Structure 1
Amino acid sequence: MLKGNFFRGLGYLGEGFRLIRQPGLRLFVLLPIAINIVLFAVLFYFMAEGFSTLIATAMGWLPDWNWLQSLDWLFWILYGAVILLMLAYGFVIVANLIGSPFYGYLAELTEKHLTGQEVTTEDGWATIVKDIPRALWREVQKILYYLPRAIGLFIIGLVPVVNLVAAVLWFLFNSWMMALQYVDYPADNHRVSFPALRRTLGGSRLSALGFGLPVALAAMVPLLNLVVVPAAVCGATAFWVRENDSNHQ
C-alpha cells in the first residue's frame, strides 16, 4: 500500500518558490540561477538542432506496418514527450552537477530558516568549497541510479502498442527522480546515505510523487526551469522537515 499524501506533496514546490524570496537565502539562489541561464542557453541550442533528428530516428525504428504509419502523428507526440522529459532531466542532471555545492548549502540555510535557527552566511564559501567532493559524489550516485532505469524505459517505449503507456511511465519515473534528486540535499546534510534516502522516500511515496510531479513539469518549461531548481531545493527541504515530523508522529 502506498503511503503519504499526494496533495500535501504538491504544495512543497509552491512553498519553495516562497522561500527563495527570503533575504537570507537570495544570494545562494541567484548564483545557481546565473549558472542555469548559461547552461540552458547551450542546451537549448543543441536541442533545437537535434530535436527533429531524434524524433525522425525514433520514428524510423517503428515496423513498416500500414496501421502504425497512419498513427505517425500520435507517435510523434508520444516520442516528443519522452524526449522532452529526457532533455528536461538531462538539464537537471547537468545543472545539479555544477551547482550541487551551492544547493547543499542552500538546503542547510533553508532548514535553519524553517526550524527557527539563525540564518547566517558568514562561513558560506568555506562550507561550499569543503563540500564539493561529497556533493559531486552524491550527484554521480543519482546519475548511476537514473541511467539504467531510463534506458530500460526508453527500450520499452520502442515496443509497438506498449509505447502508448511509455509517456505515463516516464512522468511517474521522472516525478520519483525529481523527489530523490532534491530531497537528497537536506538528507545529505544529515549524512543520510543515498540508499537510506530511497527507503525513506519509499515510506512516503505518494508525498514524494506529489512533490516530484510539478517539479518534473516545470523543468520542461523554458525560462521557468531556470528558477525551478533552487525553488525545488527549498521545497525539498520543507518536505524533509515536515515529512520527517509526520513520520515520527
Structure 2
Amino acid sequence: MRDLGVGFGYLLQGQRWMARHGRSYGFGLLPGLVTLVLYAAALTSLALWGEDAVAWATPFADGWPGPWSGLFRGFLTAVLFALGLLLAVVTFTAVTLLVGQPFYENLSAKVDRDVSPDGTAPEPDLPLWHELWISARDGLRIVVRAAVWGVLLFALGFLPFVGQTAVPVIGFFVTGFFLTEELAGVALQRRGIDLRPRLALLRSRRTLVWGFGTPLGLAFLVPFVAVLLMPGAVAGATLLARDLLGEETTGGGRGTGTGHETVTPHGSGTVTGAGRPGPAGPSAPADGTGPAA
C-alpha cells in the first residue's frame, strides 16, 4: 500500500514543479482550454438534441400506450448523456495531449533534465509527424479499451447493491489507470516504449499508478480543474515514469534549493518498445498479459 502514497506524492510533486516554472505553466494551459471549449460545445449539443436523436432512433416506440414511450426514451436520453460524459472524462486527457503534443513533449523533457543526476533527458529519434501519429494511434487504442470498461461497468451498475457501491469505486480506479497511462505515455514514448510494454509496465506497479491517477481522475470530473492541473499532471507523470523504469532522480530537482540527494526507484530489468531497447525498468510481460485495464 506504500505505493499508493508514493503515486499521490508524484502528483503533488508535479504540481509543485509547475508552480516553480510559471511561464511553462501558462503555455501549458492553452491546449486544455481549447479542448475544454470543444467538449463543452459537444456536451451542450448532446443535452439540447439528445432527446430528438433518441426519438429518431426508436420509431418502434411511437405507438406505445400511456407514459411508457416517454419513460423509455427519457431513460435512453439519460443513458446517452451519461455515456457522453464518461467518454468526455476518459478522452479529455488524450485529446489535450494530442493538441498540445509539442509543448508537453518539451515540458516532460524539461522535468527529466531538472531531476536527472547528469542533467540530460532522453530525446525521440523520430520526426514530429511520426510522434503525432503514434500519439493519436495509441490514444485511440486507449479510448477503445476505456470504452469497453465503461460499457461493462455501466451494465454492472444495474446489479442491486453492488452497482451502487463497488462499481463506482472500480470505475474510478479504472479511470485512474488509463489517465496515468496517457500522461506517463509522454515520457515513455520519448524513450521508445510502445503501448503494449507500457501497459505491462503500469500493471507491474498498479498501486503506484492508482495512487497517482485515481485522485487525479476525481479532480478531472470538474472540467476547469482538469485544465488547471494538466501541466502539473504531465510533470508528475514524468517523475512516475522514471520510478517505473528505475531511473535515478535527484531529490527535489536541480536548482530548486531542496537538496540533491539521489533517489533510486524500485525495479530492474529491461522494457523494450517499437523495436528499440528501452531504459531499465521493472520486469513485466512484454505481451501485456495479466488482469486488468
TM range (shorter): 0.7 to 0.9
Aligned position for 1:225? 226
State the match for 2:4 in structure 1.
Answer: 6
* Counterpart AA for 2:38: V
Question: Deviation per CA, 1:171-228, whole angstroms, max 9, x where unpaired?
Answer: 2221110111111111112212221111111111110011111221222213211122
Aligned to 1:145: 142
Give how far 1:133 is off.
2.1
* Higher normalized helix content (fraction of residues): 1
**Pairwise CA distance, 1:119:** 8.0
The counterpart of 2:32, out of the listed 36, 50, 56, is: 36
Larger-Rg structure: 2
Counterpart amino acid of 1:37? L
Deviation at 1:109, TM superposition (A): 0.9
Residue in 2 that maps onto 1:246 = 266
1:94 is displaced (CA, Å) by 1.5
Match of 1:17 among 15, 18, 22: 15
Q: Give the structure with the higher percent strand.
A: 2
Encode CA deviations 1:104-139: one digit per residue, 9 max, x unaligned. 22111101111245489xxx9xx8x94342143133
The alpha-carbon distance between structure 1 residues 119 and 22, as it changes in their structure 2 partners (threshold 3 A), is farther
Find out whether 1:112 has 2:113 as its counterpart.
yes
Letter in 1 for 2:86: L
Per chain length, whose mean CA-contact separation is higher, i.e. which structure has more relative contact order (CA < 8 Å, sep 6+)? 1
**Contact residue 186 and residue 237 of structure 1 kept, 8 A:** yes
Q: 1:207 to 1:155 in 2, by over 3 A?
A: closer
1:45 equivalenced with 2:46 (yes/no)? no
Structure 2 residues not aligned, in runs of 5+: 59-67, 247-264, 269-281, 283-293
AA matched with 2:37: A
Could you tell me which residue of structure 1 aligns to residue 128 of structure 2? 131
Q: CA deviation at 1:4?
A: 6.8
Q: Equivalent pairs: percent with the same residue?
A: 16
Residue 63 (structure 2) aligns with: none
Residue 34 of structure 2 aligns to a residue in which SS? helix
TM-score by length of 1: 0.75
Tell me the distance in 1 between the aligned counterparts of 2:120 and 2:51: 48
**1:16 positional shift:** 0.9
TM-score of the aligned structures, taking structure 2 as reference length: 0.65
Mapped contact 2:111–2:238 kept (Cα < 8 A): yes
Letter in 1 for 2:158: V
Matches of 1:21 and 1:178 in 2, distance apart?
Answer: 22
Change (3 A) 1:139 1:11: farther
Kept after mapping to 2: 8 A contact 1:16/1:231: yes
1:89–1:219 contact (8 Å) kept in structure 2: no
SS class of match (2:193): coil
**In 2: Cα distance, 1:27 partner to 1:117 partner:** 24
Q: Deviations over 1:13-42 (max 9, x none)?
A: 11111111234xx44433231232132123
Aligned 8 A contact 1:178 1:212 in 2: yes
Amino acid in the other structure paired with 1:49:
S
- In structure 2, relative to structure 1, the CA distance for the partners of 1:136 and 1:233 (3 Å cut) is farther
In structure 2, the partner of 1:84 is: 85
C-alpha distance in structure 2 between counterparts of 1:240 and 1:149, whole Å: 21
